[in-house]
Structure 1
Amino acid sequence: MNQIDIFGAGARRMQMTESIELTIQSLLAYGADHDHWGVAWSGGKDSSATLTLLIYLIDTGKIPRPKTLTVFYADTRQELLPLAASARQIMDELEERGIKVEVVMAPLDDRFMVYILGRGVPPPNNNTLRWCTGQIKIEPMEEALRRHVESLEGQVLMITGVRQGESAIRDRRIEMSCGKDGAECGQGWYQQVLPNAKGLRGRLATLAPLLHWRVCHVWEWLKHWAPTAEFGDWSTAAIADAYGGDEAEEINARTGCVGCPLAQEDSALDTVLKNPHWAYLAPMKGIKVLWRELREPQHRLRKAGIERLKDGSIGKNPQRMGPLTFEARLMGLERILAIQAEVNAAATALGRPLVDMVNAEEEARIRELIALETWPRGWDGDEPIATTIMDTVYQNGAVQPRLFSEAEL
Structure 2
Amino acid sequence: MKASQSSFFDGGRRLQMTESIELTIQSLQAYGPDHPHWGIAWSGGKDSSATLTMVIWLIKTGRLKAPQSLTVFYADTRQELPPLAIAAAHIMDELRDLGMRVEVVTAPLDKRFMVYILGRGVPPPNNNTLRWCTRQIKIDPMQAAIEARLSDFPGNFLMITGVRQGESAIRDQRIEMSCGKDGAECGQGWYQKVLPEAKGLRGRIATLAPLLHWRVCHVWEWLKHWAPMEEYGDWSTATIADAYGGDEAEEINARTGCIGCALAEKDTALDTVLRNPAWAYLAPLKGIRPLWRELREPQHRLKKAGLERLKDGSIAKNPQRMGPLTFEARLMGLDRILSIQQECNAAAMRQDRPLIDLINADEEARIRQLITAETWPEGWEGDEPRADTVMPVVYQNGAVQPLLF
Q: Normalising to structure 2: TM-score of the pair?
A: 0.95
Aligned AA (2:356): V
2:39 and 2:192 map into 1 onto residues whose CA distance is: 14
1:92 aligned counterpart, secondary structure: helix
Alignment of 1:68-217 (within 5 A): 68-165=69-166, 175=176, 178-217=179-218
Q: Distance in 1 between matches of 2:268 and 2:94?
A: 30
CA distance in 1, matches of 2:178, 2:389: 55
Please give the per-residue CA displacement for 1:249-297, whole angstroms capped at 9, x wherever unaligned.
1111110000000000011100000000000000010011111111111
SS at match of 1:216: helix
2:227 alignment counterpart: 226
Residue in 2 that maps onto 1:258: 259
Distance 1:9 1:121, change over 3 A: closer
Residues 78, 358 of structure 2: 8 Å contact kept:
yes
2:372 alignment partner in structure 1: 371
Indicate the residue corresponding to 2:292 in structure 1.
291
User: Aligned in 2, Cα 1:153/1:16: closer, same or farther, shift over 3 Å?
Assistant: same
1:400 paired to 2:404: no
Deviation per residue, 1:305-329 (Å, 9 max, x gap): 1111122211111101100000000
Superposed CA offset, 1:21-74 (max 9, x none):
000000000000111111000000000000000011001111101111110000
CA deviations 1:73-104 (Å, max 9, x no partner) are 00000000000000000000000000010000
- Which whole-Å CA distance do the structure 2 matches of 1:278 and 1:177 have between them? 40
The alpha-carbon deviation at position 9 of structure 1 amounts to: 7.8
1:38-77 alignment runs, 5 A limit: 38-77=39-78
Give % identity: 78
**Cα pair 1:177 1:211 within 8 Å, conserved:** no
Instruction: Say if 1:116 and 1:329, in contact at 8 Å, map to a contact too.
Output: yes
Q: What is the CA-CA distance between 1:176 and the residue it aligns to?
A: 5.6
Query: 2:327 matched to which residue of 1?
Result: 326
| Partner residue, 1:31 | 32
Aligned equivalent of 2:351: 350
Preserved CA contact (<8 Å) 1:164 1:176: no
C-alpha distance in structure 2 between counterparts of 1:247 and 1:397, whole Å = 58
Mapped partners of 1:18, 1:344: distance in 2? 44
Q: d(CA) in 1 for partners of 2:11 and 2:402?
A: 70
Amino acid aligned to 2:125: P
Secondary structure (helix, strand or coil) at the match of 2:183 reads coil
| CA distance in structure 2 between the aligned counterparts of 1:312 and 1:177, rounded to whole angstroms | 41
Partner AA of 2:232 in structure 1: F
Give the equivalent residue in structure 2 for 1:5.
none
Alpha-carbon distance in structure 1 between the residues aligned to 2:178 and 2:380: 46
- Which residue is equivalent to 1:247? 248
- Cα contact 2:267–2:286 (8 A) shared by 1: yes
For 2:260, the aligned partner's letter is G
Helix, strand or coil for the counterpart of 2:261? coil
What letter is aligned with 1:52? T
Compute the TM-score of the two structures, normalised by the length of structure 1.
Answer: 0.94
Which amino acid in the other structure matches residue 322 of structure 1?
G
**Contact 2:147–2:200, Cα closer than 8 Å, also in 1:** no
- For these two proteins, the number of residue pairs brought into alignment is 394
Say whether the 8 Å CA contact 1:302–1:322 is kept in structure 2.
yes
1:178: Cα distance to partner? 2.8
2:372 maps to amino acid: A
Q: Give the corresponding residue for 1:4.
A: none
Q: Measure how far apart 1:243 and its partner are.
A: 0.6
Distance 1:293 1:147 in 2: 39
2:317 counterpart of 1:316: yes
> Is the CA contact 1:42–1:74 (under 8 Å) kept in the aligned structure 2?
yes
Tell me the equivalent position of 2:4: none
| Partner residue, 1:12 | 13
Q: Structure 1 residues 234, 335: CA separation in 2 closer, same or farther (over 3 Å shift)?
A: same
With over 3 angstroms needed to count, the CA separation of the structure-2 counterparts of 1:346 and 1:393, relative to structure 1, is: same
Q: Deviations along 1:352-384, whole A, 9 cap, x unmatched?
A: 111111000000000000000000000000000
Alignment partner, residue 273 of structure 1: 274
Q: Which residue of 2 is the match for residue 3 of structure 1? A: none
Change (3 A) 1:10 1:381: closer
Give the conservation status (yes or no) of the 8 Å contact 2:120–2:371: yes
* Residues 242 and 176 of structure 1, relative CA distance in 2, 3 Å threshold: farther
Residue 361 of structure 1 is matched in structure 2 by: 362
Partner amino acid, structure 2, of 1:268: A
Change (3 A) 1:201 1:36: same
> For the structure 1 residues 166 and 196, does the alpha-carbon distance in structure 2 shift closer, same or farther, using more than 3 Å as the test?
closer
Which has the higher mean CA deviation after the structures are superposed, 73-82 or 175-184?
A: 175-184
Partners in 1 of 2:100 and 2:10 — Cα distance? Answer: 45
Which string of whole-angstrom CA distances, capped at 9 and with x for unpartnered residues, describes residues 146-184 of structure 1?
A: 11112111111100000013999xx9xx72663322213
Residues in 1 aligned to 2:199 and 2:335: alpha-carbon distance in whole angstroms: 41
